Amino acid sequence: MLRHPISIYINWAAYDELSDQVELTEALAMRQLDELLRLRKHGVRFDYYVMDAFWYARDGAYRIWRKPHWPNGPDRWLAKCLEHDVKPGLWVASNTLARMNCPPTWRGSFDPSGGFDGGLCCFYGGFLADFVAMLSEWAERGVRLFKFDFANFDAAPAPLRAVMLPSEIRAANIMAFSGALKAFRAAYPDVVLLAYNGFEEVHSQAQTDLPPRKVIDARWLDVFDAIYCGDPRPADVPAMNFWRSKDIYSDHMGRLYEFNGLPLQRIDSSGFMIGSTGTCYYRRTAAWQGMLLLSLARGGWANTYYGNLDLLDAEAADWFARAQALYLPLQQRGQVWTFGGWPGSAEPYGFGMADGADILLTVVNPSQTTASVSLPAARDDDLAILFHDAGYRPTLYGGTLTLGAEQMAVIGGGRCANEWLGVQNDVIIPSTIQPIEAVFVADGDQAIEATITPPTYGTIRVLLRQSDTEGRAKRTSGGAPPQGAALDTLLTIEAWQDDHAFVVNVNYDKAIWSGLSWAVGEIAAGKLRPGVPIRIRCVTTESAPVTLRGELYHVLYP
């Protein structure tokens, strides 16, 4: 298992063949390797470079690279990684075909009903022995990390389904797969193994409004160095800043896996993803600094970084290196803990790290109000605010930190108190936010509306929440980009004075592959006619029965 924190670059999001049409090629992969080496010169730490999904040919059982994308195979990439002391890694589907044709050796294990092109039984037929032999072949060529994705432990061919219970099949698959990887680890103890989709016991990686629950068997820690807790996506906590909602999602899932008995050091939050593809909603580097700090603050020793490294210029690289230099030593030497409420409940929360007097507290207020949180630290004169979003200025008094709505901040103590990281200028927090009394009434099954006399200045913030018949968040999706429909056409906020429609500013105007259960928009009150009522209408296109709830806030920006 890992003896210290590591930094892993994974090139997914620099390309995207699931929610976009940007393909993985040798040219793209080598360009990102060059960018990795450029960032290293600025002090950014990268220990591994993982080639993510779809590097392999359809025929070849992970032994042949896809052509024409890799005309000469991986030799040039492997050689350059090893030349520069970058450990190469490979993505593999754990036991699904994932766009491969079933090799003859695996056919006795094949289950065509297994999903994502079919599953493979791990305890029957020739799949597992050949799969582990393949891992060994790549390990002999210098590969030092494997990312296992899309496991399906319910897979079994028809003859077995006729004589075994589903629970027996699942248990036998897990036992065979885990045993084989334990043996592989014994043969290659320096190879890092990461677990991704399919290792959870129940589908746990969608909603964040559910109560804490058991979702994963912590015994997988006997096999894997780290277990991821979900691809970055918006939480079921409404946020005007779409990117902060994604931060809240990753924070919540990390807390959920901690609740399941996984030490924070063993959780891969996969929370840092920049890029110009659909998987990261074309964010490029929007709000990337806060995203990086939270990914480090969660404490996982498998620090993963996804996407387009070419988007980080020299100034960004220097800042990236400073953030790593501040957090990584505390990850390794110090204690790591969580405090405050649950992110998915919109309660202020944080992550702490300490090594003696040196302390870092990374805190988020996910609510739509200015809120305070008690800090688990020493006196205020030992602490300093090191970083915060622009707009509202956080305050620290009497061991209590006060943050604006949707705001994050970093607090340092001891030697960390002198490490000023600056202000995140592309996330602007209101200086004040107050509820506006309003009664939303149903307008048919798919809309609600309210009429108010608007304020004469500032901004009106509108929140729409969508829930199912059981009161849980209900996500609507129009599909993945580039063909998917933008969510602001599916969950719509409209505003009128008399017959004149006003622009509602939104940040969720994206094709969101994971769906969205809320909408947030803002109306500039100064553009409205004073004293004339404004009608605000929220509409859903969701076909399933849903309940809509609306909220209004009066917001002032600095």
Orientation angle between helical segments 75-83 and 26-41, nearest 10 degrees: 10
Q: Delineate the domains of the chain, giving CATH numbers in brackets.
A: 6-225+302-332 (3.20.20.70), 340-429 (2.60.40.1180), 434-556 (2.60.120)
Q: Comparing C-alpha atoms, which of 545, 541, 549 is closest to residue 476?
A: 541
Q: CA 272 → CA 302, 347, 521, distances in Å?
A: 12, 22, 25
Q: How many helices (H) and strands (E) does the chain have?
A: 8, 30
Angle ∠(19,240,475) on CA atoms, nearest 5: 45
Which strands, in side-by-side order, build the sheet including 547-556?
432-436, 547-556, 459-467, 518-524, 505-506
280: left (phi over 0), alpha (psi -120 to 50) or beta: alpha
pLDDT of residue 378: 60
Q: Can you tell me the distance from the alpha carbon of 115 to that of 98, in angstroms, rounded to the nearest whole number?
A: 9
Q: Can you tell me the distance from the alpha carbon of 127 to that of 558, in angstroms, rounded to the nearest whole number?
A: 61
Q: Can you tell me the distance from the alpha carbon of 540 to that of 489, in angstroms, rounded to the nearest whole number?
A: 9
> Splitting the chain (558 residues) into consecutive groups of 10 residues, what average pLDDT does each group show?
96 96 97 98 98 97 98 97 98 98 97 92 98 98 98 97 97 98 98 96 81 94 97 96 98 96 97 96 97 98 98 98 98 94 96 94 98 82 93 94 98 95 98 97 92 96 96 93 92 94 95 95 93 96 95 97
Would you state the torsion angle of the CA atoms of residues 200, 201, 206, 209, taken in this order, to the nearest 10 degrees? -120
Q: Confirm if 271 and 296 have CB atoms less than 8 A apart.
A: no
Structure token digits, residue 458:
């500032």
Would you state the torsion angle of the CA atoms of residues 481, 483, 485, 487, taken in this order, to the nearest 10 degrees? 0
pLDDT of residue 401: 95
Q: CA 137 → CA 115, 131, 142, 381, distances in Å?
A: 27, 10, 9, 57
Q: Can you tell me the distance from the alpha carbon of 376 to that of 359, in angstroms, rounded to the nearest whole number?
A: 10
Q: Confirm if 86 and 39 have CB atoms less than 8 A apart.
A: no
DSSP three-state, residue 313: coil
